[in-house]
Amino acid sequence: MFSKKVFIKKTMDSITLGINFIIVQEENQFIAYCPALELSSYGDNMEQARKRFEEEIEIFFEETAHRGTLEKYLLKLGWTLTQKPKPKYDPPLDIKNKYPNPVSSFTERVAIPV
């Protein structure tokens, strides 16, 4: 379902993330979930769940950028940081094993100013 598109790149003025999220259906609700960040949202349909997830992740990145806590939060979630040859973060979860049959899946690119 997903290739290894989860990534974080850090430059002098921004951090760019490529994150995977899925949408699963539970009863009458659709849930958008990003296991690598432990973020989720829900809606009555896929479009609403995705839109709410995009709003949720925007708020998450605004807050962590404002507080300067993104890297600390990622490490707390189990991400690993390799310093050499270039700083690189790897997510802790394999999404395919946790949700083998999502309704839909996406990869979003997000740039956060630092």
Q: Which residues constitute the domain of residue 92?
A: 7-113
- Domain annotation covers residue 61: yes
Instruction: Convert 20-37 to b/e letters by CB count within 10 Å (16 or more is b).
Output: bbbbbeeeeebbbbbbbb
pLDDT band at 4 (very low <50, low <70, confident <90, very high): very low
- In this predicted structure, what is the pLDDT of residue 3? 42
- In this predicted structure, what is the pLDDT of residue 80? 82
- Domain annotation covers residue 19: yes
- In this predicted structure, what is the pLDDT of residue 1? 42
Please name the residues in contact with 52: beta carbons below 8 A apart, sequence gap of 6 or more: 32, 41, 42, 43
- 73 alpha carbon, distance to own chain's centre: 12
CB 67 within 8 A of CB 79: no
- In this predicted structure, what is the pLDDT of residue 98? 65
Most confident of 9-23, 65-79, 82-96: 65-79
Q: How far apart are the first and last CA of the chain?
A: 32
- Compute the average pLDDT of residues 77-92: 78
To the nearest whole percent, how much of the chain has pLDDT over 90?
25
pLDDT tens-place string over residues 32-62: 998 888 899 999 999 999 999 989 988 988 8
- In this predicted structure, what is the pLDDT of residue 113? 62
Query: Based on the structure, what is the number of domains in the chain?
Result: 1
Q: What is the CATH number of the domain that holds 28?
A: 3.30.160
Give the integer Cα–Cα distance in Å for 17 and 14.
10
- Domain annotation covers residue 1: no
- Identity of the amino acid at 98: K
